[in-house]
């Protein structure tokens, strides 16, 4: 059954509120009332509202001020202004601020109902567009009801409508990019691009070109002009993932771009204005990096306007069953497995007891592995035990891997993970030294560590 739309009627005259209530309830809408601007703003912060009627002339805070404040926190809420002293000047001002319509008192019944239906139809269209964008951008849900995750969700709701920069911290695999995507999706820039850059995966000598672009002939191999990520994200959101791995030289250029809201392409002279909201993420302690002269203090203060710390799974074990069932359902929706598979309660309890050093990403991979390897429609505690044995490969030598029930692809991945882990431990987790020893680029090591959920 479709939920009835909720309409908030804000007017300091009780007779007007009663009239509008009678009309709208007869049409099947749920009605809330507020007799002042402050009461209306409190109601909007506490209750889901689909449409608001707002009187312009009220005691205390007038309708225009309420309109401005409500648009700051809920820009997509349709608001119909009502006034017994209507002028074209007031109507134009209200429309510029974001009012959906303007109706004079006493309201004409047909005019009022048409405006209500149009406003609610637009609301449905906005929600449908948001849903489609979410599906196209593959923005997943933030699954979980733990206190730690609810705190993150609450912060996202508060900061998303603003233009403030956000620094998202947390261990590998906790969902930092998902937080960035949700901030973008709930912002006024949601209709524009979300552009993500993994600063650790791009060699430092190429990062400047990646971020700011380059002109033709700027360096050897620059055969044509390239538009950088800052320009691609103009009027949208730029997500700088693993910013703690950015070189000091690149940090200086990013700082200047944030300070001046303009960039210059590599090999160019033109100063290009940009309007970009920058969100950053890192799994490093940037204060320690500053003390070790690896990160600029002035850049840190520029990007750390709003801090959000993503909790690791060990701090939200009650979310593990919800996440496991969500990932299993997602596999069925993508037709990777048939839809009949499910977890037993004992299996979910066993998953809660396990240590997930790779956090959500490792749990997601584990669910996929169990779903594919399990012969039955029910994934039970025995399947979880087999998973635990497979994961223990990082603590065994290569000969013991051969005796495990692995496919060739699984054996290859387990071997590669073990090889890289041992080399990192040998070099005391020095990425550069490890890269030199095994003759691959630092960026490739970061990619492998992310793929195999390897962390110190």
* Separation of alpha carbons 107 and 54, rounded Å: 13
How far from each other are the two terminal CA atoms of the chain, in whole angstroms? Answer: 51
Single out the residue in 259, 286, 311 at which a domain terminates. 311
Residue in the structure block whose two tokens are 């994961």: 391
Residue 333 lies in a domain: yes
Identify the pLDDT of residue 1.
46
* Separation of alpha carbons 185 and 164, rounded Å: 15
Q: Say if residue 289's pLDDT is above 90.
A: yes
Q: Say if residue 455's pLDDT is above 80.
A: no
Ranking 40-44, 70-74, 240-244, 385-389 by mean pLDDT, the lowest is 385-389
Do 391 and 417 fall into the same domain?
A: yes
Phi, psi torsion values for 272, nearest 5 degrees: -105, 120
Do 164 and 123 fall into the same domain?
A: no
Q: Are 257 and 230 in contact (CB under 8 A)?
A: yes
CATH number at residue 207: 3.40.50.300
400: alpha, beta or left? (left if phi > 0; alpha if psi -120 to 50):
alpha
Do 177 and 227 fall into the same domain?
A: yes
Do 263 and 354 fall into the same domain?
A: no
Give mean pLDDT, residues 243-266. 94
Percent of the chain with pLDDT over 70: 91
Bridge partners, residue 198, by sequence: 241
Do 305 and 168 fall into the same domain?
A: yes
Q: Are 172 and 284 in contact (CB under 8 A)?
A: no
Do 65 and 156 fall into the same domain?
A: no
* Separation of alpha carbons 247 and 437, rounded Å: 22
Residue in the structure block whose two tokens are 């800052």: 230
* Separation of alpha carbons 131 and 331, rounded Å: 20
Three-class SS state of 208: helix
Do 400 and 371 fall into the same domain?
A: yes
CATH number at residue 44: 3.40.50.2300
DSSP-derived secondary structure for 271-312: -EE---EEEEEESS-HHHHHHTTSS-HHHHHHH-SEEEEPPP
DSSP-derived secondary structure for 386-397: HHHHHHGGGGS-
Residue 91 lies in a domain: yes
Residue 141 lies in a domain: no
Do 168 and 127 fall into the same domain?
A: no
By DSSP bridging, strand 342-343 and strand 378-379 are parallel
CATH number at residue 369: 1.10.8.60
Rounded to the nearest integer, the mean pLDDT of the chain is 86
Token digits of residue 140: 């997943």
CA nearest neighbour of 321 among 146, 140, 139: 146
Residue 13 lies in a domain: yes
Q: Say if residue 283's pLDDT is above 70.
A: yes
CA nearest neighbour of 302 among 341, 254, 343: 254
Do 242 and 290 fall into the same domain?
A: yes
Ranking 99-103, 257-261, 276-280, 408-412 by mean pLDDT, the lowest is 408-412
CA nearest neighbour of 159 among 315, 244, 279, 311: 279
Residue 169 lies in a domain: yes
Ranking 34-43, 104-113, 187-196 by mean pLDDT, the lowest is 104-113
Bridge partners, residue 166, by sequence: 279, 306
Residue 87 lies in a domain: yes
- Give the pLDDT band of residue 2 (cuts 50, 70, 90): low
Q: Say if residue 138's pLDDT is above 70.
A: no
Task: Name the H helices within 9-97.
Answer: 14-26, 37-46, 63-73, 88-97
Q: Are 166 and 279 in contact (CB under 8 A)?
A: yes
Q: Say if residue 300's pLDDT is above 50.
A: yes
Do 404 and 300 fall into the same domain?
A: no
Residue 140 lies in a domain: no
**pLDDT tens for residues 155-174?**
999 999 999 999 999 998 89
Give the structural domain span for 257.
147-311
**pLDDT tens for residues 64-102?**
899 988 887 788 889 999 887 666 777 788 888 888 998
Residue 187 lies in a domain: yes
DSSP-derived secondary structure for 119-143: HHHHHHHHHHHHHHHHHHTT-----
Do 126 and 185 fall into the same domain?
A: no
**How many domains are contained in the chain?**
3
**pLDDT tens for residues 224-248?**
888 999 999 999 999 999 999 999 9
Identify the pLDDT of residue 345.
94
- Give the pLDDT band of residue 393 (cuts 50, 70, 90): very low
* Separation of alpha carbons 258 and 277, rounded Å: 9
Q: Say if residue 131's pLDDT is above 70.
A: no
Give mean pLDDT, residues 176-191. 92
Burial of residue 395 (number of CB atoms within 10 Å: 0-12, 13-18, 19+): exposed
Do 242 and 346 fall into the same domain?
A: no
Position with higher pLDDT, 219 vs 143: 143
Q: Are 250 and 206 in contact (CB under 8 A)?
A: no
Single out the residue in 311, 342, 371 at which a domain terminates. 311
Identify the pLDDT of residue 133.
58
Q: Say if residue 396's pLDDT is above 50.
A: no
Single out the residue in 88, 114, 135 at which a domain terminates. 135
Token digits of residue 51: 């449409």
């Amino acid at each position: 059954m479709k939920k009835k739309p909720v309409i908030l009627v804000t007017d300091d005259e009780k007779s007007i509120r009663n009239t509008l209530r009678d009309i709208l309830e007869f049409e099947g809408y749920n009605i809330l009332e507020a007799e002042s601007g402050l009461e209306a703003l409190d109601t909007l912060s506490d209750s889901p509202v689909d449409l608001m009627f707002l009187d312009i002339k009220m005691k205390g805070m007038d309708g225009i001020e309420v309109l401005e404040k409500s648009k700051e926190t809920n820009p997509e809420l349709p608001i119909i202004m009502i006034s017994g002293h209507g002028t074209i000047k007031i109507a134009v001002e209200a429309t510029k601020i974001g009012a959906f319509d303007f109706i004079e008192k006493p309201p004409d019944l047909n005019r009022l109902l048409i405006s209500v239906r149009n406003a609610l139809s637009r609301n449905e269209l906005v929600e449908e567009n948001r849903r489609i964008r979410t599906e196209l951008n593959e923005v997943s849900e933030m699954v979980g009801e733990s206190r730690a995750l609810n705190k993150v969700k609450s912060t996202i709701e508060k900061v998303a409508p603003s233009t403030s920069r956000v620094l998202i911290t947390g261990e590998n695999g906790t969902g930092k990019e998902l937080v960035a995507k949700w901030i973008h999706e709930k912002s006024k820039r949601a209709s524009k691009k979300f552009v993500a850059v993994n600063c650790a995966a791009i060699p430092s000598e190429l990062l400047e070109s990646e971020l700011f672009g380059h002109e033709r002939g700027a360096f050897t191999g620059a055969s044509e002009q390239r538009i950088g990520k800052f320009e691609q994200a103009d009027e949208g959101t730029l997500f700088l993932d693993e910013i703690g791995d950015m070189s000091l030289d690149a940090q200086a250029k990013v700082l200047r771009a944030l300070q001046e809201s303009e960039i210059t392409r590599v090999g160019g002279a033109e100063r290009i204005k940009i309007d970009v909201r920058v969100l950053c993420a890192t799994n490093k302690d940037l204060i320690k990096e500053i003390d070790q002269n690896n990160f600029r203090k002035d850049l840190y203060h520029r990007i750390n306007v709003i801090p959000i710390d993503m909790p690791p799974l060990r701090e939200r074990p009650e979310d593990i069953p919800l996440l496991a069932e969500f990932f299993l359902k997602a596999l069925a929706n993508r037709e990777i497995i048939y839809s009949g598979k499910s977890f037993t309660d004992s299996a979910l309890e066993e998953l809660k007891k396990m240590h997930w050093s790779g956090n959500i990403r490792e749990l997601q991979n584990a669910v996929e592995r169990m779903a594919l390897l399990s012969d039955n429609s029910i994934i039970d505690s025995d399947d979880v035990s087999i998973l635990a044995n497979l994961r223990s490969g990082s603590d065994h030598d290569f000969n013991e891997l051969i005796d495990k029930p692995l496919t060739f692809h699984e054996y290859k991945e387990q071997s590669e993970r073990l090889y890289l882990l041992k080399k990192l431990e040998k070099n005391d987790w020095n990425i550069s030294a490890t890269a030199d020893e095994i003759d691959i680029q630092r960026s490739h090591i970061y990619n492998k560590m992310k793929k195999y959920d390897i962390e110190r």
